Each structure stands twice: as C-alpha cells, then as structure tokens.
C-alpha cells in the first residue's frame, strides 16, 4: 500500500487532546485502544455475532484503575487480561444501566494496566448497527444476508470498544460463517477467497470505530480494474459492474488532484434495498445502495462521493460529530471535482446547484445553531449531526475558497491538508489554524479571516456566496414557470433528453402543494408513476400526494416497500402523514414494509407516523 507523503508546512499543528466526546463513555485521556483483534462467528439462525474482541491498550494515566468502553445491548460473558505470552487472567467488570442513545458503559477493573483485554460476548438480534435479512428480503431470495452500519455510534452494538471518531485503531479479524456465504469487511478483501466459511482480514491503517464494517451473504464478485471490484448478489453484480465500470478512472483522477490513494484497494459492495443510506465509505469496501443502479451512470456521483471519503473522512477525520462537516463538506466538494473531471463540468454544476438551491430553501427553517458548520455544543444525538448543512454549506464554503484563491492555489492547499493530517482525527479549530497559516495568510487580500470564520461559526449562508450557472437549469426554470402559468402544455416540455438531475431539479422547484391538474398532466405526458428511478420517484410521489392525486398511492406504496434508503423513503411518508387518510394509508404500508427496513429507517418512519419527525 502507498501512503501519502508528508509535506512541509510553515508551522506545526499537533493534534491535541480534544474535549470529552458527549456521545461516548470512553476516556481516551486515561487509556486508548490502539488495535482490535476480532474473532467472530456469524449465526444467521440466531441473528447474532458471537466471539471475542481483544483490545490492545495504550495507558495514559499511571493512576488509572479502570478501562471504560462503549456497548449497546451486548451480552458480555467474560473479560480477561491477556499478557504477551497469551496467558489470560479474569477481570471484574460492570455494565451500567442502558441509556437510550449511548447504550451501556462497560467498566473493567484493570489497575495493573494490562497490555490487552479480551472480551467474550454476543450481539442481540435487534443490534442497532446490524441488519439481518431473511432470504425473502434479498434480491435473489436464496440465502440470508447480514450487514453493518456503524456510523454514527452504532459500532458499539456489535463490538465493545471506544466508539468515538477521535480514537483510531488498526484491526484484524477472523470470521467464521456457513459455507457458501461470503464475508467482507472494511479491510483488504480477496475476490478469489474460497467460500469455505473461514475468513481473515487485516486493516493496517488506523481507522475510527464508525468505519468498522462487516457483511455476509450470497455475494458474487466482478473485477472493475486492477485495484477495484464490485461485490453484490449474483443477479445484481453484472448490472453493478457496468454502472461502476469507471471506478479505476475515478481513483486515478482523484490521485491526480489530491495525492496517492492510501488504502490499496477500492471495492464496492452493493447491498440489498434495505440499506438506509446512499453509501457508506467503509475503508477498502464502500457499502452502496442499489438505488443508484439506473443504467445510465447518472447517479454514479455516489461512488465519487464515497471514494472522495478515502481522502476526506477516512484519511483526515472529524474528531467529534459536531465537526462532521470536515468529513462531509470536504467530501462533497471533492466529489464535484471528480465528477467534473470524469463526466464534465455541466453535470458537476447541476449537482452543485441542486444541493445549493435546496439548502437555500430549507436553511431558514432551521434553528440558528444548526445552521452553523460547527454548531455550539448542544444536546442532540450523534446521528442528527449528519444534516444538509454539513454536506452542502460545507462544500459551498470550499467552492468559495476555490473561487477566491484560484483553483491551482486551492488544489495545492487541499493536497497539503490531506497529506499533513493523514490518519489523524482533527477538530474545526485545528483545521482553521492550518487554513489561516497555509491559505489565508499566504495569499493576503483574497479572503479575510473574519469572512472565513463567518462561513464556519455563523448561521445562514453569506450573501455573496457564489453559485455555478447552468443553461439547462435556466431553461428548465423557464419551462416550469410557463407550465404552471398555463402557457406550456406538459407534453411540450423539452424533457425527452433530461437526465436524472434535470428531472430532480424540475420537481424540486415545483410548488410544495402543486395543482392536481398539473400533476395529472405531467403523469399523462411523461409516465412518472411507477418510475424505476428512485430519485425521480421520491420527488414525484411526494408532490403528487401533496396535490391530492390518490391514483399514485399504490405505486408510492410499492416505492416505500421496495426502498429502505432513508433519504428516498421518508419524504413520501411525510407527504402521506399530512392528512388523516394519508396517514392511515402510510401506517398500513409501513406494517407491510417494516420487516425489510433497517432499524434506523424504522425509527425515522415511526417518528413521522407519530408526528415527531425532525426538521433538518
């Protein structure tokens, strides 16, 4: 594996100790986990992982008596100190009462400061970071399937550990599973590994806990390049390999921009439809939703995004969830640069405009504190940090820096930033000190420190924030206006050649409650009901339901049942929940769909149906 070179900078930026993570019980100032050794068995019948986790420890406080770890719903059988020869000594431990979000603090009495501790445990079927699917819930309906989703603080539901992004560790694993089942993890995976039920993994680079990942099931493999492959169920893998055939080109493009790819291989696992996110940037093995497989590569920017995380997020990581824009904002910016280089500036500009316009529409409804890139400390869950502000305001700030300082200067700065903080977790203050010394101060007159601080620590979007232009979007704006004003028939819209992003833009800027006759006319002309494109479908059903078109309800229910991705499912539930009759229909649909949803999706939908959905 190639590592990023360390570049010279004008001043040192040591990564210091950070404030206590409010989402973790861990005490990294006392002791830090430096390596994890997993030995687990996958049991589909019991819906559990069983085995042990051995943690290598770096003690910081000579007076410390306890090791404190994060767990959630784990059944701890025993804890042992393990010396260099492998000799085990039983340690006393206690599990605190369960907190709804944080789980249970595991306190291990270890006054002798052992070099390693081994925890023997099993997970529960309802573990928040695992989903167990029956064969009927998979694409091929032949074998059960299991996958993890550790972000943000769900790793603790399947491994006892220090579950904070500030703490990085290497890991290796031995996993046993039924024969004919393939196991993959967020480490180097062997595409030619025999399906013999015995798998080993090694992740030599230090990663935070939220990037710990595992999946097991009927998984086939197709190579897409010398260091990339697609993993998916047999009926899906061919389609996925075609959709992602540009993966090697994407890797090479990003390397040209920001330095060598540090992780060796970049593989993609396409999960069953219940996966709650578009993608998860697990090192070496991105987990991806099948909703991007639309046949025309129009949604392949998801791969650009998850690949970009190999630099921003996986390589340089936010030290706390309130700093998550350091992961997502930087990644969304890099995603745009990859998309522009490989698929053209027009598509990159359209995607930037889509997100910026949506943020402009919604940010004013958010509490002032949540409009900040780095909000003041507040009592919210870690999952709630992943808002559009982190992604879209963050990337908008970086596009502004690029415009002010020039692409050549900003590229050199960003390449140096990734190299300097490689394999470290940092907070916004650390990032800003580096920004000031290596960009603002070196290029006076381009942007003041006060302007940069306002982007990060003030609510809203600065009035002079630059936006790209799109002639095609301008034309769509004109056509939408004419259509709504009865000056252009639906069939006369110049939509035959619209790509996914252009349909998204057309629908996103329709009235929140559009006229019913307009929605009927659109459907008659363009047959949007029943579209296999989930991005278009989500927008179409939400608007048609709001307009009162009951003819779309059956197809909307099929969309909600087929897709477990939060972003593509919850808006349709929200549209139904606005009327008593719609709410009753949504509850009935959910009763059918629930078994196929991830626990995160279940929680979100149940909040909507109970009238407790959150604005973000």
Intra-chain end-to-end CA distance of the chain, in Å = 39
Q: H or E stretch including 249?
A: helix 247-258
Give every CB contact of residue 412 below 8 A, 6+ residues apart in sequence: none
Q: Is 328 marked within a binding site?
A: yes
Tell how strand 31-43 and strand 168-176 pair up. Answer: parallel
Half-sphere exposure of 109 (CA within 13 A, CB side): 6
**Residues paired with residue 465 on neighbouring β-strands, in sequence order:** none
SS3 583: helix
Active site residues: 306, 391
The CB density around residue 201, as the number of other CB atoms within 10 Å, is 21
SS3 19: coil
Residue-by-residue DSSP string for 222-238: EEEETTEEEEE-HHHHH
Burial annotation 402-439 (CB, 10 A radius, 16+ → b, else e): bebbeeebbbebbbbbbbbbbbbbbbbebbbebbeebb
SS3 259: coil
Cα 8 to Cα 31: distance, rounded to the nearest angstrom: 31
Q: Is 113 marked within a binding site?
A: no
DSSP state of 260: -
Cα 181 to Cα 177: distance, rounded to the nearest angstrom: 7
Is the peptide bond prior to 152 cis by the omega test (within 30 degrees of 0)? yes
Q: H or E stretch including 468?
A: none
Q: From the annotation, which residues make up the binding site?
A: 305, 309, 328
């Amino acid at each position: 594996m190639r590592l990023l070179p360390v570049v010279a900078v004008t001043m040192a930026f040591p990564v210091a100790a950070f404030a206590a993570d409010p989402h973790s019980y861990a005490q990294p100032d006392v002791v830090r986990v430096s390596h994890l050794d997993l030995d687990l068995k996958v049991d589909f019948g019991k819906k559990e992982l069983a085995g042990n986790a051995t943690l290598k420890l770096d003690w910081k406080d000579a007076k410390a008596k306890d090791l404190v770890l994060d767990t959630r719903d784990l059944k701890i059988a025993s804890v042992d100190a393990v010396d260099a020869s492998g000799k085990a000594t039983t340690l006393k431990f206690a599990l605190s009462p369960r907190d709804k979000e944080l789980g249970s603090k595991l306190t291990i009495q270890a006054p002798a400061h052992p070099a390693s501790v081994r925890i023997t445990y099993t997970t529960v079927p309802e573990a928040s970071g695992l989903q167990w699917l029956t064969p009927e819930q998979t694409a091929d309906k032949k074998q059960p399937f299991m996958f993890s989703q550790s972000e943000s603080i769900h790793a603790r539901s399947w491994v006892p550990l220090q579950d904070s992004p500030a703490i990085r560790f290497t890991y290796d694993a031995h996993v046993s599973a039924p024969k004919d089942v393939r196991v993959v993890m967020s480490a180097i995976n062997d595409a030619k590994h025999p399906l013999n039920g015995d798998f080993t993994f090694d992740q030599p680079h230090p990663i935070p806990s939220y990037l710990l990942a595992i999946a097991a099931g009927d998984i086939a493999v197709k190579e897409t390049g010398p260091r990339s492959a697609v993993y998916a169920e047999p009926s899906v893998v061919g389609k996925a390999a075609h959709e992602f055939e540009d993966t090697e080109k994407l890797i090479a493009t990003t390397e040209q921009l920001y330095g060598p790819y540090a992780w060796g291989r970049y593989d993609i696992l396409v999960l069953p439809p219940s996966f709650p996110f578009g993608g998860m940037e697990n090192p070496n093995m991105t987990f991806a939703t099948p909703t991007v497989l639309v046949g025309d590569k129009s949604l392949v920017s998801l791969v650009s995004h998850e690949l970009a995380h190999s630099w921003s997020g996986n390589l340089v990581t936010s030290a706390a969830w309130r700093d998550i824009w350091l992961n997502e904002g930087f990644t969304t910016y890099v995603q745009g640069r990859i998309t522009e280089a490989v698929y053209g500036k027009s598509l990159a500009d359209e995607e930037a405009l889509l997100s910026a316009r949506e943020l402009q529409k919604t940010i004013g409804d958010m509490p002032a504190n949540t409009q900040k890139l780095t909000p003041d400390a507040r009592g919210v869950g870690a999952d709630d940090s992943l808002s559009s502000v982190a992604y879209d305001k963050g990337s908008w700030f970086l596009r502004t820096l690029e415009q002010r300082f020039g692409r050549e200067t900003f590229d050199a700065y960003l390449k140096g930033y990734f190299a300097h903080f490689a394999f470290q977790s940092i907070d916004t203050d650390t990032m800003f000190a580096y920004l000031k010394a290596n960009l603002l101060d070196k290029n006076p007159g381009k942007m003041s420190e006060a302007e940069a601080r306002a982007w990060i620590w003030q609510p809203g979007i600065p009035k002079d924030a630059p936006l790209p232009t799109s002639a095609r979007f301008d034309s769509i704006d004109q056509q939408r206006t004419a259509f709504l004003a009865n000056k252009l028939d639906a069939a006369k819209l110049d939509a035959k050649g619209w790509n996914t992003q252009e349909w998204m833009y057309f629908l996103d800027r329709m009235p929140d409650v559009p006229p019913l006759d307009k929605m009927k006319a659109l459907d008659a002309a363009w047959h949007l009901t029943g579209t296999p494109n989930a991005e278009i479908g989500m927008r179409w059903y939400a608007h048609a339901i709001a307009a009162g078109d009951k003819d779309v309800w059956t197809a909307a229910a099929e969309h909600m049942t087929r897709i477990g991705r939060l972003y593509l499912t919850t808006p349709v539930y929200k549209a139904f929940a606005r009327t008593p009759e719609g709410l009753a229909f949504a509850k009935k649909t959910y009763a059918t769909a629930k078994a196929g949803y991830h626990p995160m999706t279940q929680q979100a939908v149940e909040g909507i149906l109970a009238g407790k959905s959150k604005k973000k």
